[in-house]
Chain A
Amino acid sequence: MSSRDPFVRKPFWRRGPLRDRQLRIGFVFLLAVLIFALAGPSLAPHPYDALVGPPYGAPEGAAWLGYDYLGRDVWSRLLTGGRSILWMSIAASLIALAFGTLIGLFAGFAKGRVDQTVVWGTDVILAFPDLILVLLVVSMLGREPWLIVITVAIAFVPGVIRLARSVTLGIAGQEFVDAARMMGYSRRHILLVEIMPNVLTPLLVHLGVMLTWAIAMLSGLSFLGYGVAPPAADWGLMINENRAGLMIQPWTVLAPVALIAIFALGTNLVAEGAGRYNARIEER
């Protein structure tokens, strides 16, 4: 029996996963970046492609971060440049999660030959370093954002499949699943009611981890030139474009780097905090 009955509700920032300090910090970071990226475009003083100052100009007045290599306002471009990485990383992670979970669940449940083939297939894809796989496909097929998103998702899917599969195998071996089979519950019931809820939580934690990778990968891709095309504003692209002027005007590079870092850090802290919270619940 639990020794205490929590009838007294503590404020929400003291209960549940938010009790974890690191998770709180990560959550704050995430929220900040989200608001910045989403509200940014409406707050920008200048259009992102307007030439309003000298190339690599020093910070002055309203343009408090200076001007980039073409003379555009860095602050405006910063405000506008978050959306692409935001939607692309979220989309890639969600797509990978959806497909990977379905395939992994199926493989774990079916076992035997089907399972072996799926595992071997994931091994093949996992043999390519992430970035190289994405570059390979993107370079041949084109640079449209949605194509990049799908390719990144494909790079992540094998990991999700293996995770979903191993969790399913673990759950499917437990006695309560045997009990359900013995009772004669339908396959659908077993998958949805017995197995799925127990599998979901570790997968959701993994979603957070994937977000961190997606951010790194997507910003890296746009840094290499495989993201949104210029003159669009994008944090990774900004880093690439202004790299040459690093010594003269570091802010053009530092500002987007800082934002990417905060975004990645936020998702990472939240993901790991959620993982710790989950582990605490499951060990009871």
Chain B
Amino acid sequence: MTLVAIAPGGPTLDVRGLTVTLDNGAPIVSDIDLPIAHGRIVGLVGESGSGKSTIANALSGHARRGTAITGGHVLIDGIDMTALDAQGLRNARGRIVANVAQDPATALNPMMRIGDHLDEVLVLHHADLRAQERRARIEEVAQAVGLPTSHEFLRRFPHQLSGGQQQRVLLALAFVLRPKLIVLDEPTTALDVTTQAQVLTVIRQLCRERGIAALYVSHDLAVVRNLVDDIVVLYSGRIVERGARDPFFEAPAHPYARGLLAAIPDVSERVVLHAIPGQAPTPSDRPAGCVFAPRCSSQTERCIAERPTLERLTSDRWVACHHPSGSRFEVGTNAGLIDDQSSEALPVLTAGNINLYYDERQILFDVGFDLPRAGCTALVGESGSGKTTLARALVGLGEAVSGTVVFDGEPFAVASAIRPKEIRRRIQYVFQNPYRALNPRQTVGDILKAAIRHFFPVDPVEASARAAAALERVALPHAILARRPHDLSGGERQRVAIARALVCEPDLLICDEITSALDVSVQAAILALIATLQADGLTVLFVTHDLAVVRAIADKVIVLRGGRIVEQGPADMVLDRPTHGYTAKLMADSPRLHGDVASVPPLAFA
């Protein structure tokens, strides 16, 4: 519990000109320069395909199958990881630099006990320690990360631990050897928000206490903001901006960084989201000039012709741009669309006393709510809360369910799998996983036309016209009609799924975590799409676990926990002044993008 100041001397991590390429020559990341000073935590931010995991691996001198480190140096405490031979790498890995993987469930050997995992690395790297000393170290690090130190616990296998505990074991494995640098690759992605908050606390405290430098790789700017000292933004294999945290969030200089911040929802206030137009290029298709130019609103001829290099903008800011912005970053905020009291219209759907069983266990307990017309209602809960089960039950995919549902004034039996065609048409559903929601053997046109002709007695020509019109509404080109799902990206597939719902001309659209599998900028586009559909009169029920998304789009929110509704009401009211402890805790644990950083200020520990 001591204050750790920045040590004088060179940085702990010094990456210079790192380049990693695919076997066919296309570069995944190029010319990466990345210093990390002693004891500082740096956040490496990028979307999928930007190469952030590649950099994380390269810091340990590792390149995935089919790739290779082809240029540059990675110096950790003076040791060049890229120049080591196999033996040298084995010595350095774990001892000098440690990696913490993304998914704890798959990163632990299912046939090895927890204690053995920890003992193994100690035996390997510190052969001089005796068994008792090793045991003492294991217990010490286990306690530091918040794990029990009992003999019984250390004898458990990974599957006998919860997700949060598994992640802590990974942290323990990283910290037990007291490395100089820890690389964390999105370690909290698979965890719920409460566990995530705990794990972040552990990381923060341990790094501060022991003066360990860390690189935290993530796509989640809000999480990163609450953990790191410095930010590095990666786009399409190149660093576009680098600097200290607070100045960055106040005034990001690079257009991509600004675009990213404008696309991310924030749990602290309702912001207007703006998507970044276009898509990131694949490694083989990168443009010659500025990588971001094709999507940049301030692009000039110079941007297309000449690639900008990373240059110093201010004392603690580096940008690779010909026209970096100097202005503050302002968010546009929004008031909620519907106020609870003012709406006189009949809610589109009212549910009461919903109970649902699965295999003899009760999943939903006496759930009741209503959905205001033309409003967006968010159904919030963590994994296992039953929110997806409830959503599925509303469209007839539930099994042992009982209760009353009144849709547009008319009751219908939620329990029955047989429901009137009209009801099926008017309540539509979009699934979470766009990669499994479309039949791989059918073309987009087939999928849409099948839905149209199922509900409307139209001829094939008219059906094609309607399908094309639906694609337009979701901003997809007509050419997509002839494509199969595996030709499309995740975002495009999700839009097709929405189009399939739209062709049925529904009154209620249920979206089940439709953006969880997508990148931030794609998410912004989809959420904007939902908002326009809502403006046309569509009622939306949006199932999510992400409170920031709730804040951005919801008029009303229903909080579900363990199959029971703990709270419901107008979104802003529930989020700002929750009446239930669970909601309050969720709010407290969700990292914020604006406002006070919820963590300990850097370099101080109370």
Contact = CB atoms under 8 A, between A and B. Distances in A.
Contacts of B421: 184
Interface string B479-509: 0000000111100100001001000100000
Given A175-B433, A179-B431, A2 B438 contact: no
Contact of B439 (A182, A183, A194): A194
A197 B395 CA distance: 26
Given A2-B487, A182-B424, A183-B424, A176 B439 contact: yes
B284 interface: yes
A112 to B, nearest CB: 12
A197 B424 contact: no
What range describes how many residues of A lie at the interface? Answer: 10 to 19
B441 A182 contact: no
Contacts of A124: none
A144 interface: no
A197 B441 contact: yes
Interface string B393-429: 0011100000000000000000000010100100001
A178 B431 contact: yes
B437 A179 contact: yes
Contacts of A184: 419, 421, 424, 454
A48 B389 CA distance: 71
Contacts of A2: 487
Given A3-B285, A181-B397, A198 B441 contact: yes
Nearest to A197: B441
Contact of A175 (B284, B419, B437, B454): B437
A179 B487 contact: no
B397 A182 contact: yes
Nearest to B434: A175
A interface majority secondary structure? helix
Contacts of A185: 450, 454
A55 B458 CA distance: 78
B353 interface: no
Nearest to B431: A175
B4 interface: no
A247 interface: no
A183 B433 CA distance: 18
B436 A175 contact: yes
Contacts of B441: 197-198
B451 interface: yes
B interface majority secondary structure? loop
A197 B285 CA distance: 34
A174 B434 CA distance: 11
Interface in B126-164: none
Given A3-B285, A181-B397, A184-B421, A176 B429 contact: no
Contacts, number: 55
Contacts of A62: none
Interface residues of B, number: 33
Nearest to A196: B441
Contacts of B486: 284
B73 to A, nearest CB: 32
A282 B441 CA distance: 10
A1 interface: yes
A3 B282 contact: yes
Contacts of A174: 436
Contacts of A194: 439
Interface string A77-89: 0000000000000
A1 B486 CA distance: 8
B284 A3 contact: yes
A176 B447 CA distance: 10
Given A2-B487, A183-B424, A183-B451, A176 B397 contact: no
Interface string A1-33: 111000000000000000000000000000000
B397 A1 contact: no
Interface in A161-183: 174-176, 178-179, 181-183
Contacts of A198: 439-441
A185 B500 CA distance: 14
B391 to A, nearest CB: 11
A6 to B, nearest CB: 11
A29 to B, nearest CB: 31
B501 to A, nearest CB: 9
B454 A183 contact: yes
Nearest to A201: B441
A197 B440 CA distance: 9
Nearest to A198: B441
Contacts of A181: 396-397
Contacts of A175: 431-433, 436-437
A183 B429 CA distance: 9
A3 B22 CA distance: 16
A176 B451 CA distance: 12
Contacts of A284: 486
Contact of A179 (B279, B419, B429, B488): B429
Given A183-B424, A184-B421, A178 B397 contact: yes
A1 B424 contact: no
Identify the interface centre among B429, B437, B441, B487: most chain A CB within 10 Å of its CB. B441
B489 A182 contact: no
Contacts of A182: 395-397, 424, 429
Interface string A182-202: 111100000001100110000
Nearest to A176: B439
A187 to B, nearest CB: 12
Nearest to B447: A176
Interface in B199-230: none
A158 to B, nearest CB: 27
B438 A176 contact: yes
Contacts of B279: 1
Interface string A136-174: 000000000000000000000000000000000000001
Identify the interface centre among B284, B392, B450, B504: most chain A CB within 10 Å of its CB. B450
B396 to A, nearest CB: 6
Contact of A176 (B282, B437, B488, B489): B437
Contacts of B282: 3
Contacts of A183: 424, 451, 454, 504
A282 B440 CA distance: 9
A202 to B, nearest CB: 13
Interface in B302-336: none
Contacts of B442: 193
A19 to B, nearest CB: 18
Nearest to B427: A182
6 contacts: A1-B489, A3-B284, A176-B439, A179-B497, A183-B504, A185-B454
Given A175-B436, A182-B424, A185-B450, 5 more contacts: A3-B282, A175-B433, A176-B437, A194-B439, A282-B440
The 6 closest A-B pairs by CB, nearest first: A197-B441, A175-B431, A284-B486, A175-B437, A184-B424, A175-B436
Interface of A: 1-3, 174-176, 178-179, 181-185, 193-194, 197-198, 282, 284
